[in-house]
Structure 1
Amino acid sequence: MSPIQFAIIDSTLREGEQFCKANFSSDDKVEIARELDAFGVEYIEVTSPCASPQSFRDCQHLAQLGLQSKLLTHIRCHLEDAKKALDTGVNGINLFFGTSSLLREFGHGKNIDQIVAMATEVITFIHQQSPLIELRFSTEDSFRSSFSDLLRVYLAIDRLGIITRFGIADTVGVATPNQVFNLVQTLRQCTDTDIEFHGHNDTGCAIANSYAALEAGATHIDTTVLGIGERNGITPLAGLISRLYTLDPEQLARKYRLHQLLPLHQLVAARVGISIPMDHYIIGEAAFTHKAGVHTQAILNNPKTYEAIDPGDFGLKRSFLINHKLTGKHAIAHRANELGLCVDQIQLQIIAQKIKALADQQQLTLDHIDEILQSSFGDQTNQNYAQLEPLAGR
C-alpha cells in the first residue's frame, strides 16, 4: 500500500502530558484539541481518566466537544480502568500490556498466559458494554519482547474478533527501521486488523521507524506536536508530515490543513513553555532559510533545486541570508529588487565583494546590508563603491 494511506493518532494530550515541562490545564486541553482538529488529525488520544479526578472530567468534556477527530483514551488493561473509560463517552479505548521480560518481572508481574487471560476479559467486557467502540490492544515494549511471546498474545487476541487495531510500541526507542519493518510485516501477514505504531525517539529513529512501519503495512502512526513526551518523546507530527509530503504533496494537502501546522505548534510550544527549535521540521525558523551563494542562485532560478518541500503549501515563505561572507550576487540582487533598486551585474559583483570583506571583519545585520544597497544604488547617477566604509561600532 502507499504510505500515504494511513491515519494519525496524535497523542499530545496523552503522551505529551508526560513531557517534563507539560502541565496542561483543562482550558489548554480544549484549545489544543480544537487546533489538532482544525489541522485534521483523525484521532486525538488523551490521558487515562483514571490518572486523576480532573483527568476524568477533562476526558468527558473533550468527548463532548463535537470534534471531527475521534477521541481516544489510553488505559491499562484492567477492568476498573475500562469501566471508567466507558463512562467518559470517548470514541475509542486504547489498551496496553507490557510483554517484555523486564516489564513482566519488574512491572506488572504477569506471565504471557495471564496477560492473554486478562486482556481477553477486559476486551470482552468493553465490547459487551459498547459494541461500536473502537478498541486497540498494544503490546508495550514490543521490541524487547520475545517474538514468540508477541505472536502468542496477538494471535490469541485476534481470535476474539473484537479488536479494531493492534498496537506495536517501541517504548524505549531501541528499534531500528529494519526491525520495525520486519515486525509489522510479520504481524500484517498474520492478521487483517489495522496496525498502529508508537515509536519513542530516544535514539533519534522515531520518524524513520514510523515510516518503515507504514511501508510494512501499518495503518496508524502515533505522533505528538513537537515530538514531546516521556523522556525524548515520540514521532513529531511535523517530522512525519515532512517525510510523507515528499511522496505525494497534493494528496497530503487534501488530507490535512497544512496551513494550520504552524499555529498548532506555536500554541503547544507556548503551553509547555518552550521555543520551537529553529531546525524543527517545516515550521522551524531555519527550515526554509538559504545562505550559501550557490544555493540561493539555484533556488531563485527554481526552488526545487534545494527544497524538497514547498513552504507555500504550509502558508510559509522562504528567506535568503545575505549578511555573511558566503553570500552571492544573486541573493543580493534579490534583496535589491525587494527594495525597489535597479542594479547591474558589475555593480552586484562589487557590492558582493564588499559585503564579504566586511563580514570577515564584523557581524553584519540585514539593516547593514540594506544601508549598503541604499547608499550604493539609491542615487543611480552617483555610484562610488570605493568610498564605502566598514560599519564599525554599529
Structure 2
Amino acid sequence: MEKLFIFDTTLRDGEQVPGCQLNTIEKIEVAKALEALGVDVIEAGFPVSSPGDFNSVVEISKAVTWPTICALTRAVEKDIEVAAEALKYAKKKRIHTGIGTSDYHIKYKFNSTQDEILERAKACVKYAKRFVEDVEFYAEDAGRTDNAYLARVVQAVIDAGATVVNIPDTTGYCLPTEYGAKIKYLIDHVDMKNAILSTHCHQDLGMATANSIMGVLNGARQVEVTINGIGERAGNTSLEEVVMAIKSHKELKIETNINTQKIYPISKMVSSLMSMPIQPNKAIVGRNAFAHSSGIHQDGVLKDLSTYEIIDPKDVGIDDNAIVLTARSGRAALKNRLNILSIQVSDDELTEVYQRFLDLADKKKDITDEDLLTLAGKETNGMNRVKLDYLQVTSGVGVRCIANVGIDIAGEKFDAAASGNGPVDAAIKAVWEVICDNTVINDGETEIKEFLIQAINKGSDDVGKVHMQVEHRKQIYYGFAAHTDIVAASVKAFINAINKFIK
C-alpha cells in the first residue's frame, strides 16, 4: 500500500469564503479536530496577510502536536520571514511558497517573462530553505500552464530544495484526463529526487474531486483538500470525497491516515462554525447521502445494503441509513416501518394500507409515525401531541434574553420561562423545560444535531423556513416549520421533531 498524504487547507483556502471567517479560538478547535481526523498537513493561514492570521498560525502551532503545520506565502522574502516567525512553535513546520506560472499570470499579473518567473521560483524556495527544511512550492494556475515550461519550473524548484511541488488547477479549468496527463508528464520528465507532487483542484466546473483522483492515479502523492469542499468561488476538493473514493477502491493499493469515522462530526463542526449549511445531496456528508426514498432502492437496501450503498454510513461516523417514506416509497419500506412500530399486517391489509399511504403521501411531504398508525387503523390517542399555545421573547442589546412559552401536551396546558444565549436558545430551553417536567422524556438523552435557516422569499416580510435535526436516544428525527418570525419557526420546528418521538 502506498501512502497518500492529506493536506488540509480548510483554515486557509477554505476560510476565504466571504462571511465565513473564524476567530483564533475557533481555528484551534478545527485544527485539533483535524489532528484527531488524521490529516498529515494543516495549512493554518497566510501569516503576512493580517495580524489575526499570524496569531492563528502561532496558536495552532502551539496547540497541535503531530501534523505538519504549514504557512502560505508569496514569492516575497518578507512573506517568508513572517511565515517562519509564525511557525516558530510548530513541532513540524512547512513553508508553502510559490508564484503564478501560466501565461495569463506571467503576462497580465506580473508583466514578466518565463525566464524571470523561473528565477523568482528558485529564489523563493532557496530563501525558505534558510528557515525550514520542509518547503512546498506552488505553481499557481498550473492547470493552464504549458507542460514543457511547467516541467522546467518543477525541476528548478526541486533542485533548489523543494520537498513538495503543488500543481494547482487554480481556476478549476482542467478536464480530469487533461489534469491526469499533466501530472504524468511531470513524473516522466522531471527528476523528482525525493520530492512528491501535490494536487490542489478547484470546483469551478464541478470536477475538483475527479481531477484530484486522476492526479493521484498518475503519480501525485499529496492531495490538498477542505472539509465539505468549502473554499474560494465554487470551492476546493472535498476531503471526504477523496478519502472515501480511495478507501472504496482498494484495488488502487493506496491508503491515507484518515480515521474516517470522524468525518461526519468534523463536517458538522465546520458547517456550524462557518455558518455554511451542507447541501442535502452533498456526497458523503449531506443529510440525504444515505437516505433512500425510491421504492426500488428501498426494497433493495432492506434486502441487502450492498445493492445501493457502496459505503457503510458507520464508516464516516453516521449511525445508520434512512428509509424515507414518500409517495415514491414501495410496500417493502412501508411494511418495514410498520414492523418498527410493532404493527403486523397481512399481505391483504398491507395492500389497503399502502393505497391509503400513497393518497396521503401525495398531499403531505412529511409522513409521521402517527400518520402510519392512523392509516393502519391503530389507536393513536395515547401518543402525546405537543402544540405551541403562545411564545413571548424579550431580547435586545444589553438585555437578557428571556422566553415565556405556553405548551399544550395532549390537551393539558403548561407554561415556562427560560433565559438563554439569544432568543432562539431561550425559547427552546423553555419548551424543553415543559417537556422534561411533564413527560417521561429526560434531559440528557436528546440533542439538537442540525439547525438550518432558509429564507423562502425576499423583503421585509421574509418567511424563514427552519430545518432541525434532533437526536433522541441515538435515533434522528427531523423537524420543519416556516414563519415570518424566525424564533417562532425555530420553536415550531423543534416541537415538530419532538412530536415524532414523544409518547
TM-score > 0.5 by shorter chain: yes
1:202 aligns to what SS in structure 2? coil
Deviation of 1:265 after TM superposition, in Å, equals 1.3
Letter matched to residue 19 of structure 2 = K
Check conservation: 2:246, 2:255, Cα contact below 8 A: no
Which residue pairs with 2:322 in the alignment? 319
Partners of 1:66 and 1:361 in 2: CA distance? 53
- State the Cα deviation string for residues 326-373 of structure 1 (Å, max 9, x = none): 222211121112112223322222211221123334445223533235
- State the Cα deviation string for residues 175-208 of structure 1 (Å, max 9, x = none): 0101111110111122332000100100000010
Partners of 2:311 and 2:156 in 1: CA distance? 44
Which residue pairs with 1:149 in the alignment? 149
Check conservation: 2:20, 2:276, Cα contact below 8 A: no
- State the Cα deviation string for residues 244-298 of structure 1 (Å, max 9, x = none): 232139x999832222112211111112212111111222111111111121111
Check conservation: 2:10, 2:227, Cα contact below 8 A: yes
Which residue pairs with 2:335 in the alignment? 333
Which structure: greater helix fraction? 1
Which residue pairs with 1:356 in the alignment? 358
Letter matched to residue 170 of structure 2 = T
Tell me the TM-score normalised to structure 2 length.
0.70
Partners of 1:211 and 1:156 in 2: CA distance? 26
1:18 and 2:20 correspond: no
More displaced, 187-196 or 299-308? 187-196
- State the Cα deviation string for residues 71-99 of structure 1 (Å, max 9, x = none): 11111111111111111224101112101
Check conservation: 2:175, 2:207, Cα contact below 8 A: yes
Partners of 2:363 and 2:85 in 1: CA distance? 68
More displaced, 6-15 or 224-233? 224-233
Q: Percent identity at matched positions?
A: 26
Partners of 1:307 and 1:191 in 2: CA distance? 42
5 Å matches for 1:1-394? 5-88=3-86, 89=88, 90=90, 91-130=93-132, 133-160=133-160, 162-189=161-188, 190-192=190-192, 193-248=195-250, 255-316=257-318, 317-322=320-325, 324-372=326-374, 375-376=377-378
Letter matched to residue 123 of structure 1 = V
Partners of 1:140 and 1:363 in 2: CA distance? 48
1:76 aligns to what SS in structure 2? coil
User: Which one has more relative contact order, counting CA pairs under 8 Å at least 6 apart?
Assistant: 1
Partners of 1:237 and 1:26 in 2: CA distance? 22
Change (3 A) 1:71 1:319: same
Check conservation: 2:248, 2:311, Cα contact below 8 A: yes
Change (3 A) 1:312 1:63: same
- State the Cα deviation string for residues 230-252 of structure 1 (Å, max 9, x = none): 11111012222332232139x99
More displaced, 198-207 or 143-152? 143-152
Tell me the TM-score normalised to structure 1 length.
0.89
Deviation of 1:116 after TM superposition, in Å, equals 2.3
Residue correspondences, number: 373
Check conservation: 1:342, 1:377, Cα contact below 8 A: no
Task: Give 5+ residue unaligned stretches, structure 2.
Answer: 381-503
Partners of 2:183 and 2:43 in 1: CA distance? 22
Partners of 1:101 and 1:41 in 2: CA distance? 34
Task: Give 5+ residue unaligned stretches, structure 1.
Answer: 379-394
- State the Cα deviation string for residues 307-329 of structure 1 (Å, max 9, x = none): 1111122232111122x322222
Partners of 1:117 and 1:252 in 2: CA distance? 35
- State the Cα deviation string for residues 197-221 of structure 1 (Å, max 9, x = none): 1001000000100010010010011
Change (3 A) 1:75 1:67: same
1:12 aligns to what SS in structure 2? coil
2:209 aligns to what SS in structure 1? helix
